[in-house]
């Protein structure tokens, strides 16, 4: 059963529901990522419901002072993250690319500048390496 079918709009998932759906290994990555964002940037997490056809259902937004760090979408054995890198960060992102995995660097290079706002990226996190890459990207966006 799909995530959005298990938890329709009128049935928000608990933290335990999310962790069970993700699986033990991925739930640890999910928790570690949220903890890192809270510790480094005092990010707040907020459960929201999306009707977007690409990723419908409940997701977790990470935000600080109105700035969105990203949106996390639970999946079985992984989770996806959606992040916008504002255009003004292009020089710093270019410097960071050699430190990212080849896959994430290629994703950044191929991402379009949506509506002149910046690069919109959606990618799966199924390993600690990808999670750490995401934190490196956030360090550019949010500051160390």
Indicate the pLDDT class of residue 54, thresholds 50, 70 and 90: confident
What global pTM score does this model have? 0.92
Answer yes or no: is pLDDT of 130 > 80. yes
44-75 per-residue burial string, b: 16 or more CB within 10 A, e: under 16 = eeeeeebeeeebbbbbbbbbeeeeebbbbbbb
The range of the structural domain enclosing residue 45 comes to 3-142
Answer yes or no: is pLDDT of 114 > 80. no
DSSP-based helix, strand, coil % in the chain, nearest 5: 45, 30, 25
* CA–CA distance, 63 with 40 (Å, rounded to integer): 12
Give which of 143, 141, 130 is closest to 33, Cα–Cα.
130
Average pLDDT in the 9-38 region? 96
Q: What is the pLDDT of residues 85-111, one digit of tens each?
A: 998 999 999 999 999 999 999 999 999
What's residue 55's pLDDT? Answer: 87
Q: What is the pLDDT of residues 115-128, one digit of tens each?
A: 778 899 999 999 99
Q: How many domains does the chain divide into?
A: 1
What's residue 99's pLDDT? Answer: 96
């Amino acid at each position: 059963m799909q995530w959005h079918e298990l938890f329709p709009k009128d049935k928000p998932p608990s933290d335990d529901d999310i962790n069970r759906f993700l699986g033990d290994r991925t739930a640890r990555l999910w928790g570690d990522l949220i903890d890192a964002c809270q510790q480094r940037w005092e990010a707040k997490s907020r459960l929201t419901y999306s009707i977007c056809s690409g990723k419908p259902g409940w997701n977790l937004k990470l935000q600080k002072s109105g700035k969105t760090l990203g949106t996390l979408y639970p999946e079985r054995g992984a989770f996806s993250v959606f992040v916008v890198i504002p255009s003004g960060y292009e020089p710093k992102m270019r410097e960071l690319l050699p430190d990212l995995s080849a896959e994430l660097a290629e994703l950044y290079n191929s991402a379009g500048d949506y509506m002149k706002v910046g690069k919109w990226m959606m990618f799966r996190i199924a390993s600690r390496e990808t999670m750490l890459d995401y934190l490196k990207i956030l360090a550019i966006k949010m500051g160390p």
